[in-house]
Amino acid sequence: MNYWLVKSEPFEYSYDDLIKEKKTMWDGIRNYAARKHLRGMKKGDLVLFYHSRKGLEVVGICQVVKEFYPDPTAEKGDWSVVDVKPVKRLKKPVTLQEIKATKQLQEMYLVKISRLSVMPVEKKHFDLILKMGETVY
């Protein structure tokens, strides 16, 4: 199993929206590195859901339920989507400030290449963020 982090602006699409919909197509990715990561996602992989721009915090866990396929919203180009479903909300959101202040998380893409909207996460980092969020999976 692999671990990932996806970012969404909560005023555009929040974790609450994902819970309401029960499943969503993760579309609109128009960055080659993020597309590569989307294409690396496998059914069953776990994903941290991060609210960007407002909140700046990991708020939940979702799971890949359908591996990559062509993005139907793309007017041109070779873009991809995956489908995800909600798994669990973190009991306590983990802020970017907390992540940056944690020595063990300094190698995360979220710290090093923060502009990426889809990124891999090492299992040890995934587990530590859940611990910081007082959440057991």
The predicted-structure confidence for 88-131, as pLDDT tens digits, reads as follows 999 999 999 999 999 999 999 999 988 899 999 999 999 999 99
Looking at the chain, how many residues does it have?
137
Q: What is the CATH number of the domain that holds 16?
A: 3.10.590.10
Q: Is residue 137 part of a domain?
A: no
Q: Are 85 and 75 in contact (CB under 8 A)?
A: no
Least Cα distance to 32 among 114, 121, 117 occurs for 117
Give the per-residue pLDDT at 113. Answer: 87
Q: Is residue 61 part of a domain?
A: yes
Q: How far, in whole angstroms, is CA 57 from its chain's centroid?
A: 11
Give the per-residue pLDDT at 99. Answer: 98
User: What is the mean predicted confidence (pLDDT) over 48-64?
Assistant: 96
Structural domains of the chain, count: 1
Average pLDDT, the chain: 96
Q: Which domain holds residue 44?
A: 3-132
Q: Is residue 26 part of a domain?
A: yes
| pLDDT over 90 at 85, yes or no | yes
Q: Is residue 38 part of a domain?
A: yes
pLDDT > 90: percent of the chain: 93
Give Cα separations from 45 to 40, 87, 89, 100, 130 (angstroms): 10, 11, 16, 24, 15
| pLDDT over 90 at 1, yes or no | yes
**pLDDT bracket for residue 20 (50, 70, 90):** very high
Give the per-residue pLDDT at 105. Answer: 98
43 contact partners, CB below 8 Å, separation of at least 6 = 64, 65, 66, 67
